[in-house]
Amino acid sequence: MRKQIGDCAIELIQGDITQQDTEAIVNAANKTLLGGGGVDGAIHRAGGPAILEECRKLGGCETGDAKITTGGNLKAKWVIHAVGPVYRDGKHGEPELLASCYRRSLEIALENGIKSIAFPAISCGAYRYPVEEAAQIAISTVADFVRNRDGIQLVRFVLFDNKTFYAYTAAFEALE
């Protein structure tokens, strides 16, 4: 699926974030930035030790923020590590923190001249964010960002499983 918003194409695909050929991919990282399970572990494994080496120098990252490193052995030149919120009940700032992850990742992309970026479903795995809610936040935050800023030409959401892909598809189709 693909929609054009201004100069930016937004795409949804089902696949593996580590195989994307965008200039940057976003890692659903934890606060330490030192690797973990799910997307985080897959990116560290596929990208090799250069990513972890740079992450060690960053001193971690706060929830809702993001930091950038090399892409190591990945096709993507850069990895933007975004720390999503652990979902409790949606009443502890989780929606704002999740939206902030997407905004900060796009801001960092612009600061580094990156024009194409791929996102996973941040916080939807081990952090237990309800995928339907997360999809709406992700899609609307990215769409608002690219409507109001020039520079990003492609945003691709790379969803790993059917449930996540269909939830993002529903949010994407509702986008005006």
What are the residue numbers of the active site?
40
Q: How many CA atoms lie within 13 A of 60 on its CB side?
A: 5
Rounded CA-CA distance 161/170 in Å is: 15
In the block, tokens 């902030």 appear at 100
Please report, to the nearest 10 degrees, the dihedral formed by the alpha carbons of residues 86, 92, 95, 99 taken in order: -80
Count of H helices and E strands in the chain? 5, 7
Rounded CA-CA distance 74/14 in Å is: 18
Q: How many CA atoms lie within 13 A of 34 on its CB side?
A: 5
How many residues are listed for the chain in this entry?
176
Q: How many CB atoms lie within 10 A of CB 143?
A: 20
